[in-house]
């Protein structure tokens, strides 16, 4: 990894340089919230945003994506190329970079590579930015507070200047051409350490730090807590829609008006959706909200880890805001805390 330093005032030049060759997507203010959206200038970007309503997942795994088109009259698949736009996700927090890394573990699995995801990922550069935690953030408890890989550049503001961690040659070339780049000094490194410690100390200590979460998930699998949590679920899937790491999808065919042609589409699905576990013949093996909520939490805090050695949940806190009835991993951690774990 290479480290360089640029002045804070050079950030607009960096964004402008990316814009010459890429669509730049960045956090922008919408109402009293923030969303990731394509921008036309640096001035639209709110780089000190706390979080966004939904995650940047939508640029790699769109909520609705055409896989191919077909001619229904001749029963043939027709040529279709998904629009893959060269894009820079600018200003992504460490939790989301870890989230995208989790998606890559799934979709870039060499046994079952997903060409649609891979095409988006290959055309996407990621520029991370260090943040200060908000009240619902618990990335520190999910080992996702630092992005160690899977970014092209990562900017940490160290007082009037950015320490830039460089993760790819492509991004390094853009950086060097656009900005007055200098080597990091001891003073810069000391400022970086101070910034990191300030972040570490700013996490909400009311969110309990629980050891061995996967073990506790197994130990309390049959606890009535899940009925309590699931009993208030609205079955709306807002948690999964805003989540940076929910990646389940459904596939369906849509005919065009007239029914001569159509498209096969991939659309987001979620294990919280009532029919998610319904199989042929109509049997639903997760028929209650409690069984569905529990399943979701297990995948986030137990199941994915067993396979990929990382928590699927990255502690971004979006579901905490999105859920109207206070169902979130934080409630699970508090439950373990009450159990004296």
Binding of another protein by 77 (CB under 8 A): no
Residues 198-227 that bind another protein (CB under 8 A): none
Question: Of residues 140, 165, 237, 311, which one binds another protein by CB under 8 A?
Answer: 237
Binding of another protein by 99 (CB under 8 A): no
Binding of another protein by 156 (CB under 8 A): no
Binding of another protein by 324 (CB under 8 A): yes
Rounded Cα–Cα distance for residues 130 and 137 (Å):
13
Q: Phi, psi (5° rounding) for residue 16?
A: -60, -40
Which of 288, 336, 315, 331 lies closest to 95, judged by CA? 315
Binding of another protein by 252 (CB under 8 A): yes
The nearer residue to another protein, 166 or 313, going by C-beta atoms, is 313
Binding of another protein by 135 (CB under 8 A): no
Binding of another protein by 231 (CB under 8 A): yes
Residues 29-68 that bind another protein (CB under 8 A): 30-33, 35, 52-54, 63
Rounded Cα–Cα distance for residues 9 and 84 (Å):
31
Which of 308, 341, 311 lies closest to 329, judged by CA? 311
Binding of another protein by 258 (CB under 8 A): yes
Give me the least distance between CB of 268 and another protein, in Å please: 8
Binding of another protein by 164 (CB under 8 A): no
For 17-36, b where at least 16 C-beta lie within 10 A, e where not — what string?
A: bbbeebbbbbbbeeeeebbb
Q: Which stretch binds another protein (CB under 8 A): 83-91, 197-205, 271-279, 333-341?
A: 271-279
Rounded Cα–Cα distance for residues 275 and 292 (Å):
10
Q: Which residues of this chain interact with another protein, rule CB under 8 A?
A: 30-33, 35, 52-54, 63, 72-75, 231-238, 240-242, 251-260, 268, 270, 272-275, 278, 289, 322, 324-325
């Amino acid at each position: 990894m290479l480290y360089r330093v640029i002045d804070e005032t050079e950030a607009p030049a960096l964004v402008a340089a990316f814009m010459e060759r890429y669509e730049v997507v960045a956090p922008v203010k919408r109402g009293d919230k923030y969303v990731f959206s394509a921008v036309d200038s640096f001035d639209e970007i709110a780089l000190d945003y706390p979080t966004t309503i939904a995650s940047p997942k939508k640029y790699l795994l769109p909520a609705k994506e055409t896989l191919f088109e077909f001619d229904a009259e001749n029963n043939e698949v027709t040529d279709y190329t998904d629009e893959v736009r060269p894009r820079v996700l600018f200003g992504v927090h460490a939790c989301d970079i870890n989230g995208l890394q989790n998606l890559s573990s799934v979709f870039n699995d060499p046994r079952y590579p997903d060409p649609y995801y891979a095409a988006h990922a290959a055309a996407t550069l990621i520029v991370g930015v260090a943040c200060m935690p908000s009240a619902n953030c618990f990335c520190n408890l999910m080992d996702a507070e630092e992005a160690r890989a899977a970014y092209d550049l990562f900017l940490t503001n160290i007082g009037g200047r950015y320490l830039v961690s460089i993760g790819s040659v492509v991004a390094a070339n853009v950086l060097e051409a656009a900005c007055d780049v200098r080597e990091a000094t001891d003073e810069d490194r000391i400022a970086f350490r101070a910034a990191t410690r300030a972040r570490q100390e700013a996490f909400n200590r009311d969110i309990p730090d629980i050891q061995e979460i996967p073990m506790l998930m197994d130990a309390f699998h049959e606890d009535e807590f899940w009925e309590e949590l699931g009993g208030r679920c609205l079955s709306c899937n807002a948690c999964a829609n805003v989540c940076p790491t929910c990646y389940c999808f459904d596939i369906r065919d849509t005919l065009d008006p007239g029914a001569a042609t159509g498209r096969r589409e991939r659309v987001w699905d979620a294990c919280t959706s009532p029919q998610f576990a319904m199989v042929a013949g109509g049997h639903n093996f997760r028929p209650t909200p409690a069984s569905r909520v529990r399943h979701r939490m297990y995948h986030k805090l137990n199941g994915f880890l067993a396979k990929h050695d990382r928590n699927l949940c990255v502690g971004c806190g979006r579901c905490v805001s999105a859920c109207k009835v206070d169902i979130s991993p934080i409630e699970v951690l508090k439950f373990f805390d009450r159990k004296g774990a």
